[in-house]
Structure 1
C-alpha cells in the first residue's frame, strides 16, 4: 500500500483536524469520574470513616 506524499497543505489538514477530540475528552473525563467514585465508595465503606461521618452529623444536629 502506497501513501500519497505528505505536503505542507495535507499535513496542515491532517494535524489540525479536531474531529472526535471532544468525544475523547468526554470519555477520559467520564473514566476519571468513575475511578474517583470507586475510590470514594471504598473509603466510605470503612468503619472508621463511617463513624467519623456519623459523629459529625450527630454533632451538627445536636442543639447546644
Structure 2
C-alpha cells in the first residue's frame, strides 16, 4: 500500500530519460544476440568481439 502511494506521488518514476525501456527494442536486441549465438559456434572471447561489433553498428 505504501508503494502504491509512492507511485501515485511520482516518487518511483524514472529520472533518466536517455535510457529506453521500450519492450519492442529490448525484444529486438535479444533476438539479435540470439542470432549471433546461433550463427557463430565460438567461445566467449569471440562472442564478446562479435558483440562489440553488434553494439557499435546499432
TM-score range, shorter chain: 0.3 to 0.5
TM-score by length of 1: 0.31
Q: Larger Rg: 1 or 2?
A: 1
Q: Which has the higher contact order (CA 8 A, sep 6+)?
A: 2
Higher helix share: 1
TM-score by length of 2: 0.34
